[in-house]
Amino acid sequence: MRISRVVTAPVFNNQPVEDLSKIDAVIEKYRGKKGNLIPILQSVQDIYGYLPEKAFDKISNEAGLKLADMYGVATFYAQFRLNPVGKNIVKVCHGTACHVQNARALTTALEDNLGIKDGETTEDGLFTLESVACLGCCSLAPVMMIGDDTYGNLDGKAASKIIKQVKKNS
Partner 1 sequence: MKTKVIVGMGSCGIAAGANKTYDVLEGLKTVDEQLDIELSKTSCVGMCYAEPLVEIIDETGYYLYGGIDEKKAKEILESHVKNNTPVKEYVVKSDKFETSEDSYVNGQEKIALRNCGYMDPESLEEAEERNAYKAIQKIGSEGKTDAGVIKDILDSGIRGRGGGGFPTGLKWKFANASVSDDKYIICNADEGDPGAFMDRSLLEGDPHAILEGMIIGAYAIGANQGVIYCRAEYPLAIKRLNIAIVQARERGYLGKNASGIKDFNFDIYVKEGAGAFVCGEETALIASVEGERGMPRKRPPFPAASGLWKKPTNINNVETLANIPYIILNGPESYNKYGTEKSKGTKVFALTGKIKKGGLVEVPMGMTLREIIFDLGGGIQDNGKFKAVQLGGPSGGCIPESLLDTPVDYDSVNSTGAIMGSGGMVVMDEATCMVDLAKFFLNFTQQESCGKCTFCRMGTKRMLEILTRITDGKGKEGDIELLEELSGQIKENSLCGLGQTAPNPVLTTLKYFRHEYEDHIFNKKCEAKVCKPLLTYTVVADACTGCTLCARKCPVDAISGGKKQVHFIDQDLCIQCGACDDACNFDSILVS
The residues binding partner 1 (CB under 8 A) are 1-3, 34-39, 41-42, 69, 72-73, 76-80, 94-97, 99-101, 132-141, 143, 148-153
Is 114 within 8 Å of 153 (Cβ atoms)? no
* Cα gap 58→91, rounded to integer Å: 30
Task: Give min distance, CB of 167 to partner 1, in A.
Answer: 20
Task: Give min distance, CB of 69 to partner 1, in A.
Answer: 8
Helices (H), the chain: 24-30, 37-48, 53-63, 67-76, 96-100, 103-114, 156-169
Closest to partner 1 by CB, 116 or 143:
143
Is 86 within 8 Å of 127 (Cβ atoms)? yes
Closest to partner 1 by CB, 76 or 125:
76
Task: Give min distance, CB of 33 to partner 1, in A.
Answer: 9
Task: Give min distance, CB of 135 to partner 1, in A.
Answer: 6
Closest to partner 1 by CB, 87 or 99:
99
**127-132 sheet: strands from edge to edge:** 127-132, 88-93, 144-146, 149-151
